[in-house]
C-alpha cells in the first residue's frame, strides 16, 4: 500500500471513528478543509475538526482515542486536540504544498466528503489560470467513510447497527465545508461558490446523499510590481548592452592608440 493510500485510510478511519461516537452521543461534529493557493502556486491546506461540548461530555476519553501517529508521519502538522471555550474539542491539521499536483494529492488523501478534488494551474508567461474542483458529499451516508479493506476486515460497515439504533445520519450529526482562496480575478461563469467578504470561496457540503460539483476558476495577471518591473528591467538591459558596447569601443580605441604610439617610437628610434 502506498503512503498516500495509508494516509487516506487513516483519515477515513478517523472520520468513521468520530461518526461512531457521534451516533453514540447524538452530538455534532464540524469539519472544514481550507486551501490557500498563493500567487506563485504554492500554498497550505488546513483541516479543522471541532466536536461540541455534548460529545466531549458523553465521551470524556475522546482526545485519548484519537490516534494520529500515521497522519503525523505523512507530513501533517497536528495542533490538538485542544479544549475550546465552550467545552468542546478542536483538532487542526495543516500541510504545505509546492504546487498543484501535491495540493491535489493532499486533498484526495482526506477522502469523503471531499471526493475527487483537483487543484489546477496553468502558466502563460507572467499570467496564470487557477482552478479548483471537487465532488462534495456523502452519497452512501456514513458508509462512504468505509473503504473496501476496512469493511472486509470487520465484515460490515463499522458502527452500522449503532447508527441505525440511534437514528443518526450525516444530516443530523455532521457539518462540513470546503473553503478555497485562489489568486487573481474570479471567472464568475466558472465559479459556483459563495464568495465570503474576505474573498475566500466557500462550498457548504450537502449531507443528504446529494453531490455538489464544486468549481472555481481565477485569472491571475502579473502583479502591479511585476508590471512596473518589466519595463525597468528592459531599460536596465539596454543600458547594460550600451555600456558593454561603449567599453568594447573604448578598449579598442586604447589598444589601437597604444599600437600606433609604439609603432611611432619604433620608426623614430630605429635606423
The domain locations on the chain are 3-221, 224-271
Confidence of residue 156 (pLDDT cuts 50, 70, 90): very low
- Tell me the per-residue pLDDT of 4-50, one tens digit each, with 9 for 90 and over: 444 443 455 455 555 555 555 556 788 899 999 999 999 999 999 88
pLDDT at 265 over 60: no
For the segment 144-165, the average pLDDT, to the nearest whole number, is 52
The region of weakest confidence among 110-119, 157-166, 185-194 is: 157-166
pLDDT at 104 over 50: yes
The pLDDT of residue 112 is 86
For the segment 84-94, the average pLDDT, to the nearest whole number, is 87
Alpha helices in the chain, H assignment, sequence order = 3-25, 53-58, 62-65, 69-73, 100-110, 148-154, 160-166, 170-173, 224-269
pTM over the 0.75 mark: no
In 3D, which of 70, 89, 97 has the Cα closest to residue 11?
70
Confidence of residue 170 (pLDDT cuts 50, 70, 90): confident
The pLDDT of residue 230 is 53
217 pairs with which residues across the strands?
Answer: 131
* Residue given cell 470487520 in the structure block: 154
Helix (H) or strand (E) holding 130: strand 127-136
The pLDDT of residue 258 is 65
Amino acid at each position: 500500500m502506498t503512503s498516500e493510500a495509508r494516509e487516506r485510510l487513516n483519515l477515513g478511519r478517523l472520520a468513521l471513528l468520530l461518526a461512531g461516537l457521534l451516533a453514540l452521543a447524538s452530538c455534532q461534529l464540524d469539519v472544514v478543509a481550507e486551501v490557500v493557493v498563493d500567487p506563485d502556486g504554492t500554498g497550505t491546506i488546513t483541516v479543522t475538526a471541532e466536536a461540541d461540548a455534548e460529545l466531549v461530555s458523553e465521551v470524556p476519553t475522546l482526545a485519548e482515542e484519537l490516534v494520529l501517529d500515521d497522519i503525523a508521519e505523512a507530513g501533517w502538522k497536528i495542533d490538538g486536540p485542544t479544549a475550546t471555550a465552550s467545552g468542546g474539542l478542536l483538532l487542526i491539521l495543516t500541510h504545505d504544498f509546492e504546487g498543484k499536483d501535491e495540493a491535489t494529492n493532499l486533498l484526495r488523501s482526506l477522502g469523503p466528503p471531499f471526493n475527487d478534488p483537483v487543484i489546477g494551474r496553468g502558466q502563460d508567461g507572467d499570467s496564470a489560470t487557477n482552478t479548483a474542483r471537487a465532488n462534495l458529499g456523502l452519497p452512501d451516508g456514513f458508509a462512504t467513510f468505509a473503504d473496501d479493506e476496512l469493511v472486509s476486515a470487520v465484515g460490515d460497515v463499522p458502527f452500522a447497527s449503532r447508527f441505525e439504533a440511534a437514528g443518526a445520519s450525516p444530516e443530523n450529526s455532521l457539518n462540513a465545508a470546503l473553503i478555497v482562496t485562489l489568486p487573481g480575478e474570479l471567472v464568475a461563469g466558472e465559479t459556483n461558490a459563495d464568495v465570503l467578504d474576505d474573498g475566500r470561496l466557500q462550498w457548504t457540503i450537502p449531507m443528504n446523499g446529494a453531490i455538489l460539483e464544486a468549481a472555481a476558476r481565477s485569472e491571475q495577471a502579473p502583479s502591479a510590481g511585476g508590471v512596473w518591473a518589466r519595463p525597468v528591467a528592459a531599460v536596465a538591459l539596454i543600458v547594460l548592452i550600451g555600456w558593454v558596447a561603449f567599453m568594447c569601443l573604448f578598449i579598442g580605441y586604447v589598444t589601437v592608440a597604444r599600437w600606433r604610439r609604439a609603432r611611432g617610437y619604433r620608426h623614430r628610434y630605429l635606423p
